[in-house]
């Protein structure tokens, strides 16, 4: 099975739907939407956490708060609940045919290009992240601009999700949990907001439950694909993204597919990457901003 780290492109249309569902084929509404059918989604965190989080050791609670925000909406109008499974030593993402397939959250702290040999087989099937416990999914592709990736494994016929794991890029991002003030690059200190974990995770959990990116012009959407240094707005789930929970996972009813009938299983992988862009004079982030704009414009023309 191949796992691809995709930078999801934007589709700029005339209208601005409050949320966009993920499909079996990216942005192809003729294919089934992705959704869970289980009453409980158990999730786990890697016990390794992120040694560089500021303040130290606060990443675990920040991740919990992100799930709790979504849980609050599911409690109001949804048909499933999140269950924290605790800390585990596991370091592999994606669907493991013979594994336990826990829905795992973990931080990668090493670059694959630094730790995986150039001729390693894992580059072929983009599995070096698992083999070498590192960040970087494709040989020669610069992953510095991606804050996190959600790997979702689903049935390609029915869209039913079986497993979803979240990797955070602790190689290139300084993860924090403070509420203020915003770090002013390049003077990142220990007492400011750089890349907020809850902000990042609330967005990634949106992918985990089947949301795709919204139009970037929906400035307050949790599912907007970019984030700037110091951003906290995605911690609060916008009303559009919240309405997805009620519509796709209606309380007392089955989860809603987009195309019927739902046909039997054939597993497929999916990965959603999320890009970041800093607003200040932080060179890599400024480069990222330019790249993102170029991709958006390309999407608008096609």
Q: Return residues touching Zn ion (CB under 5 A).
A: 274
- C-alpha to C-alpha distance for 102 and 90, rounded to whole angstroms: 9
> Nearest residue by C-beta to Zn ion?
274
Question: Please, which residue, 161 or 262, has the CB nearer to Zn ion?
Answer: 161
Q: Residue 166 Cβ, how far from Zn ion at the closest point, in Å?
A: 10
Question: Please, which residue, 5 or 193, has the CB nearer to Zn ion?
Answer: 5
Q: Residue 76 Cβ, how far from Zn ion at the closest point, in Å?
A: 24
Question: Please, which residue, 209 or 274, has the CB nearer to Zn ion?
Answer: 274
Contacts of 37 (CB under 8 A, 6+ apart): 160, 254, 255
Q: Residue 151 Cβ, how far from Zn ion at the closest point, in Å?
A: 12
Q: Residue 148 Cβ, how far from Zn ion at the closest point, in Å?
A: 7
Question: Please, which residue, 201 or 262, has the CB nearer to Zn ion?
Answer: 201
Question: Please, which residue, 104 or 274, has the CB nearer to Zn ion?
Answer: 274
Question: Please, which residue, 5 or 192, has the CB nearer to Zn ion?
Answer: 5
3 state SS for the chain: CCCCCEECCCCCCCCCCCCEECECCCCCCCCCECECCCCEEEEEEECCCCCCCECCCCHHHHHHHHHHHHHHHHHHHCCCEEEEEEEECCCCCCCCCCCCCCEEEEEECCEHHHHCCCCCHHHCCCCHHHHCCCECCCCCCCCCCEEEEEEEEEECCCCEEEEEEEEEECCCCCEECCCCCECECCECCCCCECEEHHHHHHHHHHHHCCEECCCCCCCCCCCCCCCCCCCCHHHCCCHHHHHHHHHHCCCCCCCCCCCCCCCCCCEEEEEEEEECCCCCCCHHHHHHHHHHHHHHHHHHHC
Q: Residue 217 Cβ, how far from Zn ion at the closest point, in Å?
A: 16
Q: Residue 135 Cβ, how far from Zn ion at the closest point, in Å?
A: 16
Q: Residue 56 Cβ, how far from Zn ion at the closest point, in Å?
A: 27
Burial of 181 (0-12, 13-18, 19+ CB in 10 A): exposed
Question: Please, which residue, 170 or 274, has the CB nearer to Zn ion?
Answer: 274
């Amino acid at each position: 099975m191949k796992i691809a780290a995709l930078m999801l492109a934007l589709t700029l249309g005339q209208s601005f739907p409050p949320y966009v569902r993920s499909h079996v084929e990216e942005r192809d509404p003729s294919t089934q939407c992705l959704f869970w059918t289980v009453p409980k989604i158990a999730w786990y965190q890697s016990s390794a956490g992120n040694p560089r989080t500021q303040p130290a050791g606060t990443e675990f609670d920040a991740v919990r708060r992100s799930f709790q925000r979504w849980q609050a909406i599911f409690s109001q109008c949804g048909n499933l609940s999140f269950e924290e499974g605790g800390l585990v030593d596991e370091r592999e993402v994606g669907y493991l045919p013979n594994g336990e397939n826990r829905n795992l959250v973990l931080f990668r702290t090493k670059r694959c290009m630094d730790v995986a040999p150039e001729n390693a087989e894992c580059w072929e099937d983009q599995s070096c992240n698992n083999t070498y416990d590192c960040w970087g999914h494709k040989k020669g592709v610069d992953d510095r601009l991606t804050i996190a990736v959600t790997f979702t494994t689903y049935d390609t016929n029915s869209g039913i999700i079986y497993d979803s794991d979240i990797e955070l890029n602790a190689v290139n991002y300084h993860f924090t949990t403070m509420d203020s003030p915003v770090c002013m690059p390049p003077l990142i200190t220990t007492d400011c907001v750089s890349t907020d974990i809850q902000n990042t995770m609330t967005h990634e959990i949106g992918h985990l439950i089947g949301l795709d990116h919204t139009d970037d012009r929906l400035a307050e959407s949790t599912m907007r694909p970019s984030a700037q240094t110091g951003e906290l707005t995605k911690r609060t789930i916008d009303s559009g993204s919240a309405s997805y929970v009620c519509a796709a996972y209606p309380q007392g009813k089955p989860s809603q597919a987009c195309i019927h009938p739902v046909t039997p299983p054939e597993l497929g992988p999916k990965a959603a990457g999320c890009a970041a862009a800093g607003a200040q004079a932080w060179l890599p982030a400024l480069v990222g901003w330019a790249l993102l704009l170029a991709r958006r414009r390309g999407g608008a023309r096609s």
